[in-house]
Amino acid sequence: MPYPSRPTIALVTDCLFCRIVAGDIPATVVRETDTTLAFRDIDPKAAVHVLVVTKEHFVDIASLAQADPELTGDLMETAAVVAETEGLLADGFRLIFNTGAYGGQEVDHVHAHVLGGEPLGPMVCK
């Protein structure tokens, strides 16, 4: 069943992560590819907390995965390389895509959270 009615393309000029990709807003970039950008979260929730975004604007992982599986693969590959270069592979890490209102998504530009560097606790706090 297709993901419901959130738009794939939003007003990118108003998008925080589009502005980071464009270089209009500074960020601590840890990896860049032709299609993706990885930068440190401004309010880290773990010892290592990196966000990985597609340079092209998609609202969320569901929209991206349905529209462009190849680009989805690029995003996952960059997340994996970041996990390796941040030294997270031996002890493990968490990859999160907050999606939509119930998922707690605050920025409507698809992003993976790469979290690690310490034990992360339970997956969801109730």
Site residues (vs ligand AMP, CB under 6 A): 16, 25, 27, 41-43, 51, 98, 104-107
Q: Which residue has its beta carbon closest to ligand AMP?
A: 98
Least Cβ distance, residue 14 to ligand AMP (angstroms)? 14
Choose between 1 and 102: whose C-beta lies nearer to ligand AMP: 102
Choose between 1 and 118: whose C-beta lies nearer to ligand AMP: 118
Question: Alpha-carbon Rg of the chain, whole angstroms?
Answer: 14
Question: Cα(76)–Cα(52) distance, rounded to whole angstroms?
Answer: 9
113 is catalytic: no
Per DSSP, the three-state class of 9 is: coil
Cβ atoms of 39 and 47 closer than 8 Å: no
